[in-house]
Amino acid sequence: MVADDTLVVGYDPGFGNTKVYVAGKAAVLQTAVARPKEVGLAAIGLKTAGRHVPIVEFGGQRFAVGPGAWHRGEPLTSLDYQALAAPERQALFYAAFNKVSPAESSTITLVIGLPVPLLQDHAQAAVILESLKRLKGEHHFVISGASQHITIVRIKVVAQPVGSYVDWLYGVELQPRTGSQNAEVAVIDIGFNTLDLFVIAGGQVVERHIGGAEIGVARLLSLLAGSSRDLNELDADLRNGVLRLDDRDLDLWLGEILAVIKRSWSSLKRFQAVIPSGGGAVVLGDRLKSVLATKGAAIYWPDDPIITNVRGFWKYGMKHVSAR
């Protein structure tokens, strides 16, 4: 267990949402970030579109973060894995952490989840992991004028779908699920950029069933022919119910997802539980439930597919990460 004065923080630096979880509190912040553009008095007499967007300042840098950040300046959001350790990602983490723990000073143990396709590329993963190690230590930042200081004393990195499994495995009181000891569990994590497939049997990863592809929600949005808008803007419209999706586009995207699943898992009937998670699972909803059911899957649908990973990271930290 961790020391009494150390917060365990689950952190999911997703390409669609930046998520942080601490002891029952979750923050979900759209992964949108920009450098604020200085316009002087050019907007005098009018309200500015991005006036409510938080500004995060640290190390001499300023970033607008969250929904509407694109109104403040050119979007910096990238689907490249290298961006996971970039300063703009730190700004998003600071803003999300501030939502769940606004204390002026905190000492934390950070459990970070990374996409399976990234972790399968050993050389690229090694670079990202080395970069993330630099997060350990002192952090001082200012968000919307309020100063905050955190000290990261330990970092643990896990594959993103492990969060869904651990969230399924342990209840609110961190007691294991009855009959879970030898269960073989499959996770279908559909994020913004990636589809992650993961299987854990008896608490151990089954290597031959690990898979994934870069066909997350961004792939669905790319099917919208003729759109010249930024992905963040399209994503925001999707979240707000403004963007209407064609059944043909949804079916095409789901077909691509099922093809990747088929390559990794010949049958879903073998698993004691199949856990869909991520924003993509929410977008597909009953469509996904129905097709998995017809394939014989024992579906476990989380109470909130979007935060199940990051809540699982927190549970993992509480159960397995000791303070040093």
Phi, psi for 10 (deg, rounded to 5): -85, 135
DSSP strand E in the chain: where? 7-13, 17-22, 25-30, 33-34, 55-58, 61-65, 105-114, 137-143, 146-159, 184-190, 195-201, 204-205, 211-213, 273-277
Write down the pLDDT at residue 323.
45
Structure tokens at 243: 């963007």
Cα–Cα distances in Å, from 157 out to 73, 197, 314?
A: 32, 17, 12
Integer Cα distance of 18 and 89 in angstroms: 9
Q: Which two tokens stand for residue 110?
A: 């950070």
| Token pair recorded at residue 22 | 């601490």
Question: What three-state secondary structure class fits 78?
Answer: coil
d(CA 222, CA 220): 5
CA angle, 217 then 235 then 165, to 5°: 45
Model confidence, pTM: 0.91
* pLDDT of 51: 67
**Domains present along the chain, CATH in parentheses:** 7-160+310-320 (3.30.420.40), 177-304 (3.30.420.40)
pLDDT tens digits for the chain (324 residues)?
455 678 999 999 999 999 999 999 999 999 999 998 764 433 443 344 456 899 999 999 999 999 999 888 888 877 788 888 899 999 999 999 999 998 899 999 999 999 999 999 999 999 999 999 889 999 999 998 899 999 999 999 999 999 999 999 999 899 999 988 899 999 999 999 999 999 999 989 999 999 999 999 999 998 875 556 778 888 989 998 888 888 999 999 999 999 999 999 999 999 999 999 999 999 999 999 999 999 999 999 999 999 999 999 999 999 987 544
* Residue at token pair 């004065």: 5
- Nearest by Cα to 312 from 213, 177, 219: 177
The Cα-based distances of 260 to 138, 209, 215, 269, 279 in angstroms read 41, 11, 9, 17, 18
**Residues whose CB is less than 8 angstroms from the CB of residue 290 and which lie 6 or more positions away in sequence, other chains included:** none
User: Residue 181: its pLDDT value, please?
Assistant: 85
**How many beta carbons lie within 10 A of that of residue 83, not counting itself?**
18
DSSP string, 43-76: TTTS--TTTTS-EEEETTEEEEESTTGGGTS-B-
Query: What is the 3-state composition of the chain as percent helix, strand, coil, each rounded to the nearest 5?
Result: 35, 25, 40
**What pLDDT does residue 164 have?**
97
| Biggest CA pair distance of the chain | 66
Three-class secondary structure of residue 154 per DSSP: strand
CA distance 209 to 165: 14
Q: 152: which residues sit within 8 A by CB, 6+ positions away?
A: 108, 109, 110, 135, 136, 137, 139
Q: Tell me the β-bridge partners of 197.
A: 188, 211
